[in-house]
Amino acid sequence: MALKLSMLIVFSLAMVAIGVWCRRSATDVSGFVLGGRAVGPWMTAFAYGTSYFSAVIFVGYAGQFGWKFGIASTWIGLANCFLGSLLAWIVLGRRTRLMTRKMKCATMPQFFGERFSSPALKIAAAAIVFVFLIPYTASLYNGLSRLFRMAFGIDYTVCIIVMSVLTCAYVVLGGYMATAINDFVQGLIMLVGIIAVIAAVLHGQGGFTAALEKLAAVPSETPGVFNSFFGPDPFSLFAVIILTSLGTWGLPQMVGKFYAIRDSRSIRTGTVVSTVFALIVAGGCYFLGGFGRLFDVDVATEGFDAIIPAMISTLPDFLIGVVVILVFAASMSTLSSLVLTSSSTLTLDLIKGCFARKMHEKKQLFTMRLFVGVFVAISAAIAIFQYKSGGSVKFIAQMMGLSWGALAGSFLAPFLYGLWWKKTSKASVWVSFAFGCVNMILNMFAPSIYPAWLKSPINCGAFTMLAGLVIVPIVSLLTPKPDKAKVDEIFDSLNRDETFVAPATETPAETEPVAE
């Protein structure tokens, strides 16, 4: 116990120290939200990866889908690597950086407002971000609490308070730069930790070949199905792949990493680093989860979220400490990204955009820091209530499915087409927003109206994302086209590639055009 606590305390103090050290880079809005648009490729790549993978993945998804699909769940991790990381960086990275620089956008709602000349779209997108990031944040606490109780016997509420206070401390102090540096440190811990854990778990089962043989012998309607190439349910496996891989393309906390990166050369390096990181972490998590049925877990009473903690509990104390720090680091990095995204969106897009247009910079900074704490407190309260009341959304995976389905279902298609297709219309964005939100809300409160294959929020979220890719071009072809001159001007930025640092609060209406 002393060893595990010592490791956790040292890690926590280091995170806060980084926040204190980064205070000088968070003295204005651009520095606090985007690190001055000057973050290097390695830190951006690690920030992308650690925001992607958290306790939701390690405890929730790896446990649940490893149990359901067996070793075939490894496909989810591979898709996260090549579709959610590699292809996302290639398709979105450079265009996002250049277009948002041209339009002086610091948030995804600002992108929609400027790209489609609609302040109302910016406000609607900001509201969607704030509302649907909350269940995702709550799910982070839930996953972490399982490991804390296993390792320390600590009450669930204490876990939430510790994580909330530490995350608030370094985000409020150092903003995006503190988050990026902490993400880099936390990412290194995740890489080392997941490799060590996989090796230890397989060793405990007699090695890789012996573990596969045991998995093949698990009783099932189809013998050996948990050791098969695509597992017992390929359709559901595909839905999880779409949700967790393609979904990153429409999540504001993920796409925002491209806003802050320094230049296109950095994007090329970041693409490689991010892909390798995802291959090890995501591939390793789902590969590990695929052996969950070899451990004694009663999922009927304990739930899927108990599977990974049960696997970890068999390890030596030092490795348990490593795993706790691994998941703690992953969850803090994701939480910091979420609260920074939400607080900046609420301040810059809703409050300043609607009610206080002349809010000076110091007040914007104060407001964003205040909302970091508010957002953490709200999500923590929901996490505690959900846990103690046994709410309708019981498992981590379902909570993440609701959040990702609504956010990516609303944003993915209009953002992607907005980057690549000049004829994307404002009306198509509104339709995508409405379809994404309404579909996921109905799925949460009235699942009985859906066919069996869409009742799961995971399947429904995947369907919503894919449907948006069809809806946006159809509606765009049937509705008025955007202003050609303005769109041409925005797309002209893709031919320019200078390193440029712009104040995050500026908009084209407030400043003279930037001399390129």
Q: Is 251 exposed, middle or buried (0-12, 13-18, 19+ CB in 10 A)?
A: buried
What's the rounded mean pLDDT across residues 199-226? 88
Give backbone dihedrals phi and psi of 498, rounded to 5 degrees, phi first. -80, 150
CA nearest to 32, candidates 93, 106, 99, 103: 106
Q: Please report the pLDDT score of residue 222 as a whole number.
A: 81
Q: Is 218 exposed, middle or buried (0-12, 13-18, 19+ CB in 10 A)?
A: middle
Say yes or no to pLDDT of 394 above 60: no
Q: Which SS3 state, helix, strand or coil, does residue 253 take?
A: helix
Q: Which residue has the tokens 């379809």?
A: 435
Q: Which helix (H) or strand (E) holds 55?
A: helix 55-55
Write down the mean pLDDT value for the chain: 83
What's the rounded mean pLDDT across residues 383-405? 65
CA nearest to 231, candidates 76, 73, 78: 73
Cα separation of 387 and 138, whole Å? 10
Q: Which amino acid is it at 470? A: V
CA nearest to 165, candidates 362, 328, 2: 328
Q: Please report the pLDDT score of residue 389 as a whole number.
A: 64
More confident residue, 191 or 300: 191
Cα separation of 514 and 315, whole Å? 58
Say yes or no to pLDDT of 445 above 50: yes
Q: Please report the pLDDT score of residue 393 as a whole number.
A: 45
340-369 pLDDT, tens digit each: 888 888 888 888 777 777 788 888 888 888
Domains and CATH numbers, the chain: 2-24+40-390 (1.20.1730.10)
* CA pseudo-torsion sign 77, 78, 84, 89: positive
- The pTM of the full predicted model, rounded to 2 decimals, is 0.84
Query: Within 10 Å of residue 151's Cβ, how many Cβ atoms?
Result: 22
227-237 pLDDT, tens digit each: 888 889 999 99
What's the rounded mean pLDDT across residues 38-59? 81
More confident residue, 9 or 401: 9
